[in-house]
């Protein structure tokens, strides 16, 4: 009887050891699966963040290009305005010389008057009739 119980206990011990090993392997496999899922999620999150960052960068580059185009348009407008101002100044100078020349030929003098009305006619100093008896 001593010899028959021992192999049976030995068999139970072997089976228990196998079950423990299988349970440990299942736990290790489950841990690996969770780790793999976490790693995959992190990679996906990083990829999504990178894509958002690249999209924001592209948007910034587009806005920068638009701003540069606006600046260039403004520079061109400024240059055109400067050229127009110079042309107007030249035309004014020519017209002034022409008018002065015509006035000299006719014996006239060019006189400039102020656009300011006389002080007695302003609202601050209304015109009052003189006291006459």
For the segment 84-97, what is each residue's pLDDT rounded down to a tens digit? Answer: 999 999 999 998 88
- What is the overall mean pLDDT for the chain? 84
pLDDT, tens digit (0-9, with 9 covering 90-100), for 24-69: 999 999 999 999 999 999 999 999 999 999 999 999 999 999 999 9
pLDDT, tens digit (0-9, with 9 covering 90-100), for 4-32: 668 888 889 899 999 999 999 999 999 99
Average pLDDT over residues 65-74: 96
Torsion, Cα 37 41 42 47, to 10 degrees, reads: 140
Distance in angstroms (rounded) separating the CA atoms of residues 89 and 104: 22
pLDDT band at 1 (very low <50, low <70, confident <90, very high): very low
pLDDT for the residue numbered 5: 64
Distance in angstroms (rounded) separating the CA atoms of residues 82 and 119: 38
pLDDT band at 132 (very low <50, low <70, confident <90, very high): low
Average pLDDT over residues 103-118: 62
Q: Which residues contact 119 (CB under 8 A, 6 or more apart)?
A: 125
CA atoms within 13 A on the CB side of 44: 6
Average pLDDT over residues 70-88: 95
């Amino acid at each position: 009887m001593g010899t028959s119980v021992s192999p049976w206990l030995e068999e139970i011990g072997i089976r228990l050891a196998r079950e423990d090993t299988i349970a440990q392997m299942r736990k290790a496999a489950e841990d690996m699966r969770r780790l793999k899922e976490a790693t995959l999620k992190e990679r996906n999150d990083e990829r999504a963040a990178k894509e958002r960052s690249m999209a924001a960068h592209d948007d910034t580059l587009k806005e920068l290009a638009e701003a540069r185009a606006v600046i260039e348009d403004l520079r061109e407008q400024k240059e055109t305005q400067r050229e127009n101002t110079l042309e107007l100044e030249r035309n004014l100078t020519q017209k002034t010389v022409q008018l002065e020349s015509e006035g000299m030929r006719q014996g006239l003098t060019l006189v400039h008057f102020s656009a300011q009305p006389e002080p007695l006619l302003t609202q601050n100093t209304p015109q009052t009739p003189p006291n006459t008896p």
